[in-house]
């Protein structure tokens, strides 16, 4: 079994505050907060006995593709044996039970008792969810029962800030982190984060420094989160944004009159074109149009030669944004990255606070793929307009 090495500052935070009931770990992108919390959860399951641990997010699809997958990946990497009940999403590590349950309906945990709770992306939760989680920390334990919350501090008026962090509490500890703590980040990603200082001050505070920001000048408000797609639609299309260090993003879009349903199918870094083609084979109908980043004509041609119905996308940003605003957008609840991107997608501001007519280019890969799909659909209504 491999040794679990948590980033030093996170390890100290967990170890030094085992006497606190609430641990709040917030910070910027790539700081390692979620990864380290998953490691800490596994360590507790190895070091202790007969504990019941809850890992939660607001929705079940998001929980599956984030926390559950991360925990499985780490357990496999460390060669730690575990049993997983896939239907109940309950995991056994030694004599300890780890339950993966969402909070889209708080009744799911109303009669349950836990020793430890990890609430990932806690800004998705309501204050009532938080109070309910604290009430569930009542299972018998020879140690302190704990709730750990992890999130990006995107809005200084969020209830976590106003009702939890700003309220004096001797039974709570907080830890603010940023990318500088994580030695495993690529130089390219570090450069992106540092460049935010020149692009948008608010984004730089949130995603680089891990400080509380202000949610304002948001671009999209015409969206919601749903669990299903309609039985009938007018058209199905795909949008594809290429990446390598940044993730490659593929989004499937169902269109019905002035409504569109979007589902994230691929969101993955370090994909070569060969890797991507193999993924497309299992995710995409070859007859369905794919509108892809036109800045990568060679990649588009290679995918075309592999038999896919792929088109260079219309990339004009403002035009695409305007087209997306003409739809009522419904995002499938398992599209965790698309939801995260659209929730904070905003217009740029200069250093004097003037709003510019261009979005902040950061954490927008799934949104770009959605824009390629719907924006290109409006322009390239006929397949013969495809140009390679």
At 113-143, the pLDDT tens digits run 999 999 999 999 999 999 999 999 999 999 9
Residue 211 lies inside a defined structural domain of this protein = no
Is 303 within 8 Å of 292 (Cβ atoms)? yes
Number of other residues whose CB lies within 10 A of the CB of residue 188: 10
Residue carrying the six token digits 């959860």:
41
What is the rounded distance in angstroms from the CA atom of residue 14 to the CA atom of residue 32? 14
| Same domain as 142, residue 51 | yes
Is 316 within 8 Å of 372 (Cβ atoms)? no
E strand or H helix that includes residue 191: helix 187-199
Q: What share of the chain is helix, strand, coil (3-state, %, to 5)?
A: 40, 25, 40
Residue carrying the six token digits 């997958």:
69
Closest CA to 73 of 31, 35, 46: 35
Residue 83 lies inside a defined structural domain of this protein = yes
* Percent of all residues in the chain with a pLDDT value above 70, rounded to a whole number: 97
| Same domain as 45, residue 114 | yes
Burial class (CB in 10 A: 0-12, 13-18, 19+), 217: middle
User: Based on the structure, what is the number of domains in the chain?
Assistant: 2
pLDDT of 281: 96
pLDDT at 30 over 70: yes
What is the rounded distance in angstroms from the CA atom of residue 62 to the CA atom of residue 103? 11
What is the rounded distance in angstroms from the CA atom of residue 169 to the CA atom of residue 21? 10
E strand or H helix that includes residue 172: strand 172-177
| Same domain as 118, residue 47 | yes
What is the rounded distance in angstroms from the CA atom of residue 337 to the CA atom of residue 155? 18
Each residue's pLDDT tens digit, 338-354 = 999 999 999 998 877 78
Residue 209 lies inside a defined structural domain of this protein = no
| Same domain as 349, residue 251 | yes
Strands 259-268, 328-332: pairing is parallel
pLDDT of 109: 82
pLDDT at 387 over 80: no
Residue 186 lies inside a defined structural domain of this protein = no
| Same domain as 252, residue 120 | no
**Band of pLDDT at residue 206, cut at 50, 70 and 90:** very high
| Same domain as 176, residue 227 | no
Each residue's pLDDT tens digit, 285-321 = 999 999 999 999 999 999 999 999 999 999 999 999 9
| Same domain as 251, residue 154 | no
| Same domain as 90, residue 39 | yes
Is 232 within 8 Å of 218 (Cβ atoms)? no
Residue 216 lies inside a defined structural domain of this protein = no
pLDDT of 286: 92
pLDDT at 384 over 70: no
* Last residue of one domain, picked from the residues 156, 181, 206: 181
| Same domain as 35, residue 167 | yes
- Structure tokens belonging to residue 20: 């606190």
| Same domain as 157, residue 288 | no
Tell me the three state secondary structure of residue 15.
Answer: helix
- Structure tokens belonging to residue 168: 């004096």
pLDDT at 2 over 80: no
| Same domain as 268, residue 351 | yes
pLDDT of 386: 46
Which residues constitute the domain of residue 162? Answer: 8-181
| Same domain as 22, residue 153 | yes
Residue 110 lies inside a defined structural domain of this protein = yes
The average pLDDT across 140-150 equals: 96
E strand or H helix that includes residue 357: strand 355-359
- Following DSSP, what letter does each residue of 302-331 receive, concatenated? HHHHTT--EEEPP--HHHHHHHHHTSEEEE
- Average pLDDT of the residues of the chain: 93
Question: Phi, psi (5° rounding) for residue 211?
Answer: -100, 160
Each residue's pLDDT tens digit, 43-90 = 999 999 999 999 999 999 999 999 999 999 999 999 999 999 999 999
Is 311 or 168 the better-scoring residue by pLDDT?
311
pLDDT at 182 over 60: yes
Domain at 262, CATH number: 3.30.420.280
Domain at 109, CATH number: 3.40.50.300
Angle (CA) 147 57 216, round 5°: 100
């Amino acid at each position: 079994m491999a040794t679990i090495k948590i980033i030093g500052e996170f390890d100290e935070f967990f170890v030094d505050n085992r006497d606190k009931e609430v641990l709040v770990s917030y910070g910027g992108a790539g700081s390692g907060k979620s990864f380290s919390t998953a490691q800490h959860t596994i360590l507790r399951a190895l070091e202790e006995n007969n504990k019941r641990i809850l890992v939660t997010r607001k929705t079940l699809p998001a929980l599956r593709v984030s926390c559950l997958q991360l925990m499985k990946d780490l357990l496999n990497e460390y060669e730690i044996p575990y049993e997983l009940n896939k239907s109940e999403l309950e995991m056994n590590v030694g004599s300890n039970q780890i339950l993966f349950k969402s909070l889209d309906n708080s009744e799911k945990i109303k009669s349950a008792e836990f020793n430890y709770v990890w609430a990932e992306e806690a800004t998705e939760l309501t204050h009532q969810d938080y109070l309910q989680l604290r009430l569930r920390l009542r299972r018998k334990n020879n140690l302190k029962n704990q709730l750990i919350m992890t999130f990006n501090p995107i809005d200084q008026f969020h209830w976590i800030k106003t009702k939890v962090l700003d309220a004096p509490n001797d039974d709570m500890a907080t830890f603010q982190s940023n990318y500088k703590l994580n030695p495993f980040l690529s130089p390219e990603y570090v450069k992106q984060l540092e460049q935010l200082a020149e692009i948008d001050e608010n984004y730089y505070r949130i995603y680089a420094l891990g400080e509380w920001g202000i949610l304002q000048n948001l671009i999209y408000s015409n969206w919601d989160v749903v669990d299903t797609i309609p039985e009938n639609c007018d058209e199905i299309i795909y949008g594809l944004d290429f990446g390598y260090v940044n993730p490659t993003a593929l989004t499937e879009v169902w269109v019905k009159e002035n409504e569109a349903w979007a589902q994230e199918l691929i969101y993955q870094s370090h994909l070569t074109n060969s890797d991507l083609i193999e993924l497309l084979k299992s995710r995409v109908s070859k007859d369905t149009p794919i509108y892809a980043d036109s800045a990568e004509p060679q990649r588009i041609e290679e995918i075309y030669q592999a038999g896919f119905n792929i088109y260079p996308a219309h990339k004009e940003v403002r035009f695409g944004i305007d087209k997306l605003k003409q739809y009522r957008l419904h995002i499938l609840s398992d599209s965790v990255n698309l939801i995260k991107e659209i929730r904070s997608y905003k217009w740029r501001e200069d250093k004097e606070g003037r709003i510019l007519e261009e979005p902040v280019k950061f954490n927008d890969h799934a949104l770009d793929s959605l824009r390629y799909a719907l924006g290109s659909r409006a322009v390239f209504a006929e397949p013969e307009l495809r140009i390679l």
